[in-house]
Structure 1
């Protein structure tokens, strides 16, 4: 037995009592992308567990892998044999790294390394998940497809990267030349807002990868009650309603695009002070109500995107834009362009996109309210 096999066997013996995985068949070579039927796991019993289309159907029929319960979530529902089948199928179905732009895959993405890392470990060990990280897609849902999409405005001047620049120097260059809020037209008396591109919640592995997230600058941990509460929550957020497309899974199931209109929420409080203490007293409260619609009532909406600049991610910098538009014509009313310098971590090439300096500077507000603040500076209730 070679050294690599000896190490795997030792891990099984020391950490996983009863572990039945020995090592992997890698006859096709590491660089060829997704796994296929030649891939297998040889068990300590001497038997070989092979990937087959039938095995894939068996696992998918249980809702594992690409359903509601991926292997790292559903492991409590599986015995050891089912777990090994699940991770083998999961690795086999991961896409080839050449199937999309490189930055749509995590920096450490490798289906073969993922399988090799995962199989000998305890089922609740999540330390291998960075090896399968892919970009979460965030589709745009324009309510009037017949109206041409707007063109994103260019910055007043382009920042220039000079060889040898440090992260801090390049960040200051981008902030000084490109970042800012550019308002071309304001509108008074706006009742509601439509969210063209909802954000998908990102997990810890995406937030720690330099490349895979499209827009770390504009990303914020989802507001606990939902984005609608950022826009409809008098007296702090005073739009009358907020609209968003129904999630993509529902659209695929129904075959049509529908929308949800949120309105009716109100939470007016007074602060009651006493010696040494204070507390809130609700004066007026009504819950948020959401109803599905076939179309949108909003005349105006906002959309976001990530932007790329030369050498930005390798230096731990990410940029993003938010654009406010007139939905009937897709005329651009305003755009905010900003950059973030992520904080490096002790992990190899690791980064934390939840913290770090930004430009424009968040004006004393939490990050999830800053999009609301900019939209409201263009569209005034």
Structure 2
């Protein structure tokens, strides 16, 4: 009995210490939950302030001249300004299963409701063609599985479906009698279908389609190639309007599995922005495992209409730079 009292006292003391430790841990977590967590870059280590965005952007996004022009474009006043967001998370929610995913979805919904949308300031009629300033090849699988890999997965994943061939680089916008631009100009790139090109720009043109015939000779609903896409090099651009894209940086976005982007149509001479389409993607739930992403199937803000493949990018051009003959991605 003489030894049992000290042991009991020790046990009681340990119990008190454990309880205090638990209380301290809970209080510390609660304090942290009520303060906005600072943005801590992972793969992006250097950021650059640009004219066209409120947040500094990763230096990697300014890799060439056309990217730098895209990030220098100032948005029209009708565009909504970013709304500050409170990243604090209730302490009780932190103990939930998938607590991080819930926090990510909440932030994604905030960005969608306050910033996503389409703004057309000016439409132009009788446009024969334009300059697509930032063509892309299909991204590698590593790019779309890296949370910090793609600059703007919203458009970059569309190239997985279309690829980087002469036909499909132009067919986004040239498919008479359905898509009635006569040409699209691009910067010269080091790709197979531009071998022999020496001038700084290329012009794509000439592609047309027609309905295929059924065995009975009647026109079917299936379209086939009629004339091939062609390409020539040009020393200077002839288009008046440009179509470009860029990523959107927001605090703690990639940490929450979120990526934003903008499509921009602008005047090449004055740099006036005619229209903007802004979208966010979320890839917070990821069966590929920790530190991976699934940008190719990431969900999007519901405010903007869906489009098959590259359809929404094409339709945005039709809505702003209107062709003489009616053009639409919708079936006629």
Instruction: Name structure 2 gaps, 5 residues minimum.
Output: 1-40, 48-58, 90-101, 324-332
Map Cα deviations across residues 83-140 of structure 1 (whole Å, 9 max, x no partner): xxxxxxxxxxxxxxx9x94389xxxxxxxxxxxxxxxxxxxxxxxxxxxxx9687534
Map Cα deviations across residues 345-373 of structure 1 (whole Å, 9 max, x no partner): 23222210011221255634224222111
Asked if the contact 1:138/1:198 (under 8 Å) is kept, the reply is: no
Secondary structure of the corresponding residue to residue 320 of structure 1: strand
In the alignment, is residue 377 of structure 1 matched against residue 301 of structure 2? Answer: no
**TM-score using structure 1 length:** 0.57
Cα distance in 1 between the residues matched to 2:83 and 2:137: 30
Cα distance in 1 between the residues matched to 2:320 and 2:189: 27
Cα distance in 2 between the residues matched to 1:215 and 1:272: 42
State the match for 1:152 in structure 2.
Answer: 75
Cα distance in 2 between the residues matched to 1:271 and 1:364: 30
1:177 shift after superposition = 0.3
Cα distance in 1 between the residues matched to 2:107 and 2:213: 45
Residue 139 of structure 1, aligned match among 58, 64, 67:
64
1:291 shift after superposition = 0.4
Instruction: Name structure 1 gaps, 5 residues minimum.
Output: 1-97, 105-133
Moved more, 304-313 or 221-230: 221-230
Map Cα deviations across residues 256-314 of structure 1 (whole Å, 9 max, x no partner): 8611111111012157498xxx77375x7111110011011111111111011111111
Higher relative contact order (CA 8 A, sep 6+): 2
Tell me the C-alpha RMSD between the 2 structures.
3.4
State the match for 2:134 in structure 1.
Answer: 197
Cα distance in 1 between the residues matched to 2:175 and 2:201: 20
Secondary structure of the corresponding residue to residue 172 of structure 1: helix
Count residues with an aligned counterpart.
Answer: 244
1:237 shift after superposition = 1.7
Cα distance in 2 between the residues matched to 1:181 and 1:193: 20
State the match for 1:304 in structure 2.
Answer: 245
Q: Which has the larger radius of gyration?
A: 2
